[in-house]
Amino acid sequence: MSIEIKAPSFPESVADGTIATWHKQPGEACKRDDLIVDIETDKVVMEVVAPADGSLSDIIVAEGGTVLSNEVIAHFTAGAAAPAQADEGPSAATATDQPDSSGPAVRKLLHENNLHATQVTGTGKGGRLLKEDVLNYLKHPTPVAVVTPVAPVTPAPAPMAKEMPKESTNQMVSPSSGPQHRTSRRVPMTRLRATIAKRLVSAQNEAAMLTTYNEVDMSPIMALRKQYKAQFEKAHNGTRLGFMSFFVKAAAEALKRYPAVNASLDGNDMVYHAYQDVSVAVSTDRGLVVPVLRDVEAMTLADIEKGIVDLANQAKAGKLTLEEMQGGTFTITNGGIFGSLLSTPILNAPQTAILGMHKIQDRPVAENGQVVIRPMMYLALSYDHRMIDGKEAVQFLVTVKELLQDPARILLEILSLIHI
């Protein structure tokens, strides 16, 4: 029975998608719910699985092609295995050993490094090419033997034979020698990367973006974390106590006091939100994504930590849904995990503000007339000056700073003690 394989139904905000990777080829047997193809949209990668046991009969839209919502992209034959695999003879074994039987990660790695599968020796079952084989080849390329053609030589007098070195017929040429390895590679920008670039440029061109800075003494939070880290992990089923939960909670409390920082722009309208949905920037191999933590004002520190870990794992695996990436009211990004000491974050439109965290570094500070060493972190708040005044932005950032330097206020929700 032939079945049409269609692209998923895209939301209204997604016009089309791109075929990223075909994980199954025509004639290749698969089971129900096996991954057949990845479709990349502006925001997420959507997976299409096999509707039943069987095999693909033909592919209509090749990799790199653009597809619309519910468009037919392939035909699937249910209950029928691939002809080549039905034959158990030598031809079937040979087909299994072909490089095309390698996984999508191997094919992608070969393509990115301009390699052919025949250049790499497979160590998997039946000579199957593994990702480790390609990585090992890239680290230690096998030298290519170049044989210099030798013209037929007529017998020469004995004295001339001493002048003809025998080893001149075969020479080993190192892959790193010669100008042929000074190559460039042109790779088309992925749909997600192109969308990110477009949004970042749009945010800088359209918003009246300004950034204010401050610094926070991380000693109190570090001491609290050190004292209760083990107990926290034990009490919350292995959830670890990090720094992000304190920043998210401090931001949520400050957003209650300064609602303009939690607002968004819709044309000429300013939309104020009575809830705090915080977007947390996550770096992945495909690009930067910002999944959303919903209703953080009602979440505990443990809920926030667990939610961030879950979203980060889904993002790195490409499993985020559109619902998990839309609707944030405020964004927090942490460049400090990569060693950034100070930066200017770019707005995540249509939001009007974004908080940037940075590296914790010991610095001398003046305290009670004395110079002491404290673990300090720079904070950066970029905001849209069309909606947020400088006074509000500075006061919001100072509020976050005060809450972090006295974390008991976060736990007790004592925001009224902060005087600016």
Which residues are marked as active site?
Answer: 385, 389
381 burial (CB, 10 Å; 0-12 / 13-18 / 19+) is buried
**Tokens describing residue 213:** 């800075």
* Spatial separation of the C-alpha atoms in residues 418 and 401, rounded to whole Å: 10
Helix axes 131-139, 104-112, angle to 10 degrees: 20
| Buried b or exposed e, range 152-183, using 16+ CB within 10 angstroms | eeeeeeeeeeeeeeeeeeeeeeeeeeeeeeee
How many whole angstroms separate alpha carbon 26 and alpha carbon 117?
A: 20
> Would you state the structure tokens that stand for residue 375, as one six-digit string?
């673990």
Q: How many Cα atoms within 13 Å fall on the side-chain side of residue 202? A: 10
Helices (H) and strands (E) in the chain, counts: 11, 21
How long a stretch of residues is the chain?
Answer: 420
CB neighbourhood size of 125 (10 A): 9
Task: Provide CB contacts within 8 A for 199, sequence distance 6+.
Answer: 348, 349
* Residues in Cβ contact with 67 at an 8 Å cutoff, skipping those fewer than 6 apart: 7, 16, 17, 18, 19, 39, 61, 73
Quickly count: other Cβ atoms within 10 Å of residue 208's Cβ: 10
- Residue 232, token pair as written in the block: 């926290």
Do strands 144-147 and 353-357 pair parallel, antiparallel, or not at all (unpaired)? Answer: unpaired
Instruction: Give the tokens for residue 230.
Output: 């083990």
Q: How far apart are CA 410 and CA 405, in angstroms?
A: 10
What token pair was written down for 66? Answer: 């653009």
